[in-house]
Structure 1
Amino acid sequence: MGSRITVVLNPSNAEKLRNIQAKMIKTSPKSVSFSHVLNLVVHEGLKKFKA
């Protein structure tokens, strides 16, 4: 389990994440949390940056 933090999102980004979540819910037999979707998107985005 991860750390509990607070994140403030732009409404348009939150809507895009909700749409991704809705698509994942339709194809998954399990529940799909907003946090899970956010972590997946951040993980994929961070792959583009070399630290």
Structure 2
Amino acid sequence: MTIMLEDDLVKKLRVKQSKMLQETNDTVSFSHVINETLRTCLKMK
């Protein structure tokens, strides 16, 4: 599957990824950040 993300969203997700990396010693993939963000947002609705 391929999705297109707008530049402003990519920047926000990269910031979130950076914060997640600082909080752990593990790797945090960009895909993981996207999936976690979507899960969180979809639970709210």
Query: TM-score, with normalisation over the residues of structure 2?
Result: 0.92
* Unaligned segments of structure 2, at least 5 residues: none
Cα separation, 2, equivalents of 1:28 and 1:21: 11
1:8 maps to 2:4: yes
Cα RMSD after superposing both structures? 0.7
| Number of residue equivalences | 45
Higher RCO (C-alpha 8 Å, min separation 6) = 2
Deviant stretches of 4+, over 2 Å: none
1:21 match: 17
Q: CA deviation at 1:23?
A: 0.5
**Identity, % of aligned positions:** 38
Query: TM-score, with normalisation over the residues of structure 1?
Result: 0.82
